[in-house]
Structure 1
Amino acid sequence: MGSISCPVSLCSQPKSLKAGYRSRSSSRMLAVRCTVGEVEAESSVASTTEPLLINAVRGEKVERPPSYQMICERYPSFRERSENVDLVVEISLQPWKVFKPDGVILFSDILTPLPGMNIPFDILKGKGPVIHDPLRTANDVAGVTEFVPEESVPYVGEALSILREEVKGEAAVLGFVGAPFTLASYVVEGGSSKHFSKIKNLAFSQPKVLHALLQKFTDSMSRYIKYQADNGAQAVQIFDSWATELSPVDFEEFSLPYLKEIVATVKKTHPHLPLILYASGSGGLLERLRLTGVDVVSLDWTVDMWEGRRRLGLDVAVQGNIDPGVLFGSKEFITKRIHDTIKKAGSDKHILNLGHGIVVGTPEENVAHFFEVAKGIRWMKKNYQSVQCVHCSFTLLILYTFVISIMIEQGSRIVISKYIDEKMYFIFKKIDNIDNFLCYLRFDCYIGRYQNLDVAYNVLNVLIKNITNDSDDYDYNIYFSVDDRVIEIIIMLLLNIYTSLRICNYFLKIFKKIYLNYFCS
């Protein structure tokens, strides 16, 4: 039980305020009820029915960012291993047994379905996957058969089921598939490519042929995702590695509509299955990747995490985006990069991962350090449902209270989270319209011109310390919901109201003295 002076009340009835905080000694959740003059707190426990990774993707509150890594090298014996259930399970579980990541990804390959579609391939030493009979004509495409995973890859379903039993809910089991354009690139080019001249030739000279091939892959991958989900996959990642070889205009024709169709088809029967999209070097396509409807967009290291979040919007979860090469650095360097990434990503809807698969030859002790640091992170978060004015020595607090209260009246969600940057940001987003990311602007764009930014930091620190009795100093991100067209009007209005209140308060003191002296004597 604590007491906080509240000279100004913005709500006629006391409402709830939920706050989660981190102290040096422990991590716990508080449910706080704020009334005029006092704060009551009681312990509550967050739900743990789902793995941490799944909760993070769904936007639920998590104590730290979930993390996992993938391998990215192929070798000649890959197919033999990936088609043997016992070996698939053993290899898939190896990282989990050693490092205990939050995700266990199926040991497989995006080309695994090809033989089941009448497209044989091999993996050759020094060359990678090779399709000996590339598909480049309408007749070639007509020979592609329907993919039936239950018949063609039964070992995948069996392996996923075993993995679910082995991890026992301590980690999320992830499956994955190739995206239509990336699969088409392999089978048209005959394997990996540097210039993608053959598939672009097909796209621009015989687009109907390519569209027919893309549709077959779309139907097959939709079915494959459902099959994986039905057999234990708790999330599925879609790899569109080569889509970024397309211009934005061509991406909209040859990749985007098929990705959207896959998502829509899967969501009809598996609405709660998280779908993760990865496209290497996707910095120029982020806004278009958002249109696919996937739950998570995986960023590589060529995109700044802060910039990626800004462009994707807060309703889309992000994965990544540490350069795999960072794991060749010192432990101090790795730690710094991890902290930088998670601070820019924020505590909502982020999966900590590399921006690509882990590179062969990476020191194992550095991989262990990556997970050790990731698991040691604890978010301090406030999820404000209502806030009343809390007395402190900084006058800006009244202004903050008015802003927060107006946002709350509009049904907004307000989150304060720890941030390492030297600036404070306001993100304005209409909470009931996830399709519109309305505005992103810097804190000192408006309020900062009137008050020193350091004062603003101090105000928030005092507010948090008063509520949680936490002695740590924090920098914060503030997430507000509001129509961007009224932001400047509201802030200017609040400044005027604040000035008026100070004047009114001055006169009220005078009237109080007059009343006490002349009417109560």
Structure 2
Amino acid sequence: MTSLTNDTFLRALLREPVDYTPVWMMRQAGRYLPEYRATRAKAGSFMDLCKNPELACEVTLQPLERFPLDAAILFSDILTVPDAMGLGLYFSEGEGPHFERPVRSEADVDRIGIPDPEGELKYVMDAVSTIRRELQGRVPLIGFSGSPWTLATYMVEGGGAKNFSQIKGMMFDRPDLLHRLLAKTADAVTVYLNAQIARGAQATMIFDTWGGALAPANYREFSLAYMQRVIAGLTREAEGRKVPVILFTKNGGQWLGDMANTGCDALGVDWTTDLADARRLVGDRVALQGNLDPCALYASPERIREEVARVLASYGQGPGHVFNLGHGITPDVNPEHAGAMVAAVHELSRAYHV
């Protein structure tokens, strides 16, 4: 494998000294870029784009051609794993993802197996290999998965949810059944992420999109415990260096202290928690990633610069910070505003690393 030209992102995740705060954006390869929309149109559909390794590589690299980002993230979707479990994933225009065969009974849980990453999910692994080759060591590649709880939420609800009635009904009435489903899902996620690492992912991220919908005790039992199970099973070294793990629970600021004890290397922080408070909670146990409000990118470049300065100041002096948005970049943001954010981070952060 080609050696890295820029490893600032990996060093920051491990709380090692860096010259500046590295930056990337969740959903950085996405609909806010006209070149992404053109590639998706060429692919035919979102899942056709995900399942074409060459086109997935193309959209992964597109934001790096525009902005001097410090990491690339695999272009894929968190629902590739349940799709490979045979649940019949499909997308309705304007409605998001749906599953033809949701998981709601003991028979449903028994029916699903752990997908073979080099079988049903080989297209993802081929995309990882292709991206690593085309990156030529410019920046590290992040692999990712949804958390077991988040994937199970889609699997039980049959798609997106407003009040999580199906999965919370299972959680309260049949916690034993939900634990069986989460154990299978956690094992599938572990195998999936390890396969991405074997193919060249240099860091991994677990997206717990719906953990914040849980009460504290339920979060620890049904979400956090299974992310910890995944982390315990991950390959943590490849190509002669550590493979850091980032954990991100949206709306999970109140649990950052617990999350820091999972064995992860870094925590994603959304914009509802001040980084200074997060840093006090986790101490020197983990790095922090975040956490500009994505809507700040609708403001003028001058205002974006001020908000970048505020986020950098809230984290403060020293290593262990990766700059990011507090959630994914929104589709109608002007790409030049994203570029203004990246430039401001690179310029203003150097004062915090002297």
Shared fold by TM > 0.5?
yes
Structure 1 residue 129 corresponds to structure 2 residue 97 = yes
Structure 1 residue 376 corresponds to structure 2 residue 344 = no
Distance in 2 between residues matched to 1:311 and 1:245, nearest whole Å: 21
Q: Deviations over 1:475-509 (max 9, x none)?
A: xxxxxxxxxxxxxxxxxxxxxxxxxxxxxxxxxxx
Distance in 2 between residues matched to 1:240 and 1:224, nearest whole Å: 16
Of 60, 71, 83, the residue aligned with 1:103 is 71
Partner of 1:174, secondary structure, is strand
Q: Which runs of 5+ in 1 are unaligned?
A: 1-47, 382-416, 419-521
Distance in 1 between residues matched to 2:60 and 2:143, nearest whole Å: 11
From the superposition, tell whether residues 80 and 49 of structure 1 become closer, same or farther in structure 2 (CA, over 3 Å).
Answer: closer
Q: How far apart are 1:49 and its partner, in Å? A: 6.6
Q: Which runs of 5+ in 2 are unaligned?
A: 32-39
Distance in 1 between residues matched to 2:101 and 2:129, nearest whole Å: 34
Structure 1 residue 278 corresponds to structure 2 residue 234 = no
From the superposition, tell whether residues 269 and 57 of structure 1 become closer, same or farther in structure 2 (CA, over 3 Å).
Answer: closer
Q: How far apart are 1:291 and its partner, in Å? A: 2.3
Partner of 2:119, secondary structure, is helix
From the superposition, tell whether residues 71 and 49 of structure 1 become closer, same or farther in structure 2 (CA, over 3 Å).
Answer: closer
CA contact (8 A) 2:87 2:100 kept: no
Distance in 1 between residues matched to 2:204 and 2:212, nearest whole Å: 20
Q: How far apart are 1:269 and its partner, in Å? A: 6.7
Partner of 2:145, secondary structure, is strand
From the superposition, tell whether residues 151 and 279 of structure 1 become closer, same or farther in structure 2 (CA, over 3 Å).
Answer: same
Partner of 1:152, secondary structure, is coil
Structure 1 residue 59 corresponds to structure 2 residue 15 = yes
| Number of positions where the alignment pairs a residue of Structure 1 with one of Structure 2 | 337
Q: Deviations over 1:168-217 (max 9, x none)?
A: 22211111101100000001111111111110100110111100100001
Which residue number in structure 2 is paired with residue 87 of structure 1? Answer: 55
Which residue number in structure 2 is paired with residue 146 of structure 1? Answer: 114
Larger mean CA deviation between 71-80 and 312-321 belongs to 71-80
Write the mapping of 1:201-350 to structure 2, written as runs, cut at 5 A: 201-267=169-235, 272-346=242-316, 347-350=318-321
CA contact (8 A) 2:5 2:139 kept: no
Distance in 2 between residues matched to 1:267 and 1:85, nearest whole Å: 23
Distance in 2 between residues matched to 1:283 and 1:115, nearest whole Å: 30
Partner of 1:194, secondary structure, is coil
Query: C-alpha root-mean-square deviation of aligned residues, in Å?
Result: 2.0
Distance in 2 between residues matched to 1:102 and 1:377, nearest whole Å: 15
1:366 is aligned with what amino acid? H
Distance in 2 between residues matched to 1:210 and 1:59, nearest whole Å: 36
Partner of 1:156, secondary structure, is helix
Which residue number in structure 1 is paired with residue 325 of structure 2? Answer: 354
From the superposition, tell whether residues 285 and 365 of structure 1 become closer, same or farther in structure 2 (CA, over 3 Å).
Answer: same
Larger RCO: Structure 1 or Structure 2 (Cα < 8 Å, ≥ 6 residues apart)? 2
CA contact (8 A) 2:260 2:285 kept: no
Distance in 2 between residues matched to 1:94 and 1:267, nearest whole Å: 29
Which residue number in structure 2 is paired with residue 156 of structure 1? Answer: 124
Distance in 2 between residues matched to 1:373 and 1:170, nearest whole Å: 21
Q: Deviations over 1:196-244 (max 9, x none)?
A: 1110100110111100100001111001111001111111110111011
Distance in 2 between residues matched to 1:128 and 1:378, nearest whole Å: 37
Q: How far apart are 1:146 and its partner, in Å? A: 1.8
Partner of 2:218, secondary structure, is helix
Which residue number in structure 2 is paired with residue 367 of structure 1? Answer: 338
Which residue number in structure 2 is paired with residue 115 of structure 1? Answer: 83
1:71 is aligned with what amino acid? R
Which residue number in structure 1 is paired with residue 35 of structure 2? Answer: none
Of 136, 145, 159, the residue aligned with 1:191 is 159
Larger mean CA deviation between 64-73 and 50-59 belongs to 64-73
CA contact (8 A) 2:15 2:286 kept: no
1:152 is aligned with what amino acid? E
Q: Deviations over 1:298-348 (max 9, x none)?
A: 011011111111112222111110001000101111111111111221331
From the superposition, tell whether residues 360 and 49 of structure 1 become closer, same or farther in structure 2 (CA, over 3 Å).
Answer: closer
Taking structure 2 as the reference length, the TM-score comes to: 0.90
Task: Point out the structure with max Rg over C-alpha.
Answer: 1
Larger mean CA deviation between 266-275 and 191-200 belongs to 266-275
